[in-house]
Structure 1
Amino acid sequence: MHNSLAFRAALSAPTSIEAEKTLSIAILAVSITSVLGAGWMILSFILIPSLRTFRHQLIFGLGISDFMIALNFMISTIMNFTGHEIWQPAQHAFCSFNGFIAQMFIIQTDYWVLLIAICTYVILSDNKRASAWMQGHPIVIWCLPWGLSTLWAVLGLVVVGYGNIGACLFLQRFHALNGLLNWYSGCWFTSDRIRLLVNFIPRWIIVIAIIVLYAQLCWILLKAHRAVSSSEEDDTFIMLSRSQDTQRRRQDPSPNNSSNSRSFRKVHPAPSLKKMSRRMMLYPTVYMMIWIIPTAIRIYQSTAKRPAPLSINILDKVCIAIQGLVDAVIYGLNERTWNAWTERFFWD
């Protein structure tokens, strides 16, 4: 077995067996937690009827993507631990499959996040026609992330193939030279610069689009909150007027006073719009924070032409593998899935 993996040109791949093992241990631990978190999201949708609304259908799709990403990381790291190193030529078939799944579902999470943002904006902005169409055509909505991500993954497999970048596999053209597997780093997704342009720039365009959508939605909700507050003030004034009229009727009953009761308007409590908007802003904020480090590493390695330290590369992979756990925390707490579970299985 080679003690050095330097023959691989991908900058994000470890350069020694020891580094590969360290990376694999870290990724395996994080992947297990993400599999459990994403699995909880999926089971919540399947088992809890109250968590099957249109919004939860989108979250269910995101949970599937998170689950497959984490499971894919787990499989590749377990392969390393069992002695079937993923960078060996004998594992080329597994390499292609692992890279296809990674590319497909990592990109798919981007599309799910964007769809959740768009659908949330349409529904809460009270666009009834568009909202009714979306909720009446869930299959069409589901076809968008699955179709686009599958297309990208197939193009990657056909055009350039997949190769090892450490702990999991991404796109990389390869050829045999002197009996060893040498990696050509100038092709699609293996080059940090190309991966930055093809994967990370579209991802940040999606993040910016989400921020713009939610910022505009917060403005819409703020105006609605002000309108409700103004209506409450009017209702309070009317209630006080009705109270004074009632006192006058007791002192001087008159048939004409009965007609005033028809102008009374019932007071409704204002919804917690600020709390709702803060919850919606939480996911794009955390999503953006998750991808800051991988993006910074891609920029660094594409410009400096040298790999980042092992600890930074571990953090890079962890940021990708941890998405299932992060989504489970955000959506689990925001959607109160724990309460739904306790009511479903302990209070029935």
Structure 2
Amino acid sequence: MASQGLMSPSSNHSNRCAHVSTGFDDYQCTVILMVKRATATFSLVGCLFMLFVIWLFRRYHSLAQKMIVSLTIAAFFDSVAYVMGEDHPKGPLCTFQAWWLTYFDWSALAWVCLITLNLYINLVKETRTEQYHILYHLLAWGVPLLMSCLPLIGNFYGPAGSWCWITDNHVAWRFGIWYIPLFTLIFLMICCYARIICVANTRIQSWFGTFNPERERRKVSLGEEIKPLKWYPSVYLLVSLCPLINRLHNAFYPKSPVFSLTLLHVLSAPLHGLANAIVFGLDRDTWGQLSITGIQLALHSRLCDSTQIREYHPGTVRYTPAGQLDLSDSEDDTNVLFYSPDMVLKDRGP
């Protein structure tokens, strides 16, 4: 009995980590699962904080801001997939987690690409894009649905390391569904941002003539806008590099996983959407408002200030004697001014 009691924790660890990966002992397996859960939880909380900041400071009016909201929502549900369970055997629950993970990974990537495209059209092509709002949503939610459903056709989803995804027996599908499109799109985004920065710098340097305060203000503003652009694709590249290296190693050495690579994989993979939501969503003005005083004022404005500013629409004016005033059938916006026949107006001078 005593020996059974001593062996039970090890047995629980073995069952808990049976589908993580071969070659890891119980301690390494437990560390990997704990790190994955902690990173995914941090990403989940970060996405909630981002949504709170967007609501608090009303960053949801323009098309670009609405796209950032959609990116943050996709990142939130992507983090849920990583938090979802710890180790599932092959079955419906594992397949659902794998599909969920693929769908929202693709959705977050799609919104990052569309935000980049929208900025390129606005700045380089100098074209307004509000009419593309519905098209953006169709692409950002529709394309991921197609990509996530393709592995279901061949039943390729199953245990794939620290979570359920495309199994080790279908490495070509892993790279065809995710990694090759991912790094192709990252490369295109880098080219796109390089073009945006080049055009913006050219416009800044080409302004000349007499001093114009508005033009100088716009010049400084444009210069501030292009400074963080280099970080947008870089963030996605950094959080995608370790998962790519680990999956490449798994493809060439499927029976010999490396603990350090797997640990880096579970540290960076859940941060895809969160990292981009922070980079895109928290601009310099928003960061400047994230102080105790700024948050208090914003909360007071959201929760306590009921003042409404409405546009005044002047109507026509008609005069009527005081004794003949009848407003019972007046349904228009006419302003009625009455006067008395005995009223005498005095001249008060200039």
TM range (shorter): 0.7 to 0.9
Q: Tell me if 1:146 matches 2:148.
A: no
Change in 2 beyond 3 A, CA 1:157/1:204: same
Give CA-to-partner distance per residue, 1:171-230, whole Å, 9 cap, x none. Answer: 23xxxxxxxxxxxx433xxx2x441233111111101100111111111111100112xx
SS in 2 for 1:70: helix
Alignment partner of 2:75 out of 66, 74, 79? 66
Alignment partner of 1:86 out of 85, 88, 99? 88
Give the aligned partner of residue 36 of structure 2. Answer: 27
SS in 1 for 2:165: strand
Give the aligned partner of residue 116 of structure 2. Answer: 117
Give the aligned partner of residue 187 of structure 2. Answer: 208
- The percentage of counterpart residues that share the same residue type is 19
Give the aligned partner of residue 247 of structure 2. Answer: 298
Change in 2 beyond 3 A, CA 1:60/1:170: same
Based on CA coordinates, which of the two structures has the bigger radius of gyration? 2
* Offset at residue 285 of structure 1 (A): 1.1
Whichever residue aligns with residue 309 of structure 1, its letter is V
**TM-score, structure 2 normalization:** 0.72
Say whether the 8 Å CA contact 1:44–1:51 is kept in structure 2.
Answer: no
Alignment partner of 1:235 out of 194, 210, 215? 210
* Offset at residue 14 of structure 1 (A): 6.5
Q: Which has the higher contact order (CA 8 A, sep 6+)?
A: 1
Give the aligned partner of residue 199 of structure 1. Answer: 178
| Correspondence 1:35-50 to 2 at 5 A | 35-50=44-59
Structure 1: unaligned runs, 5 residues or longer: 78-84, 173-184, 237-264
Q: Which has the higher helix share?
A: 1
Say whether the 8 Å CA contact 1:69–1:321 is kept in structure 2.
Answer: yes
Give the aligned partner of residue 287 of structure 1. Answer: 236
Structure 2: unaligned runs, 5 residues or longer: 1-10, 306-350
| Correspondence 1:129-168 to 2 at 5 A | 131=128, 134-168=129-163
Change in 2 beyond 3 A, CA 1:42/1:222: same
Alignment partner of 1:312 out of 253, 261, 267? 261
Q: Cα RMSD between the aligned structures?
A: 2.7
* Offset at residue 5 of structure 1 (A): 8.9
Aligned positions, number: 284
CA distance in 2, matches of 1:103, 1:164: 14
Alignment partner of 2:85 out of 48, 64, 76? 76
- Structure 1, 159-168 or 62-71: larger mean CA deviation: 159-168
Say whether the 8 Å CA contact 2:48–2:76 is kept in structure 1.
Answer: yes
Q: Tell me if 1:268 matches 2:201.
A: no
CA distance in 2, matches of 1:167, 1:101: 15
* Offset at residue 335 of structure 1 (A): 5.6
SS in 1 for 2:257: coil
CA distance in 2, matches of 1:13, 1:330: 37
Change in 2 beyond 3 A, CA 1:153/1:48: same
* Offset at residue 306 of structure 1 (A): 4.3
* Offset at residue 271 of structure 1 (A): 2.7
Change in 2 beyond 3 A, CA 1:119/1:14: farther
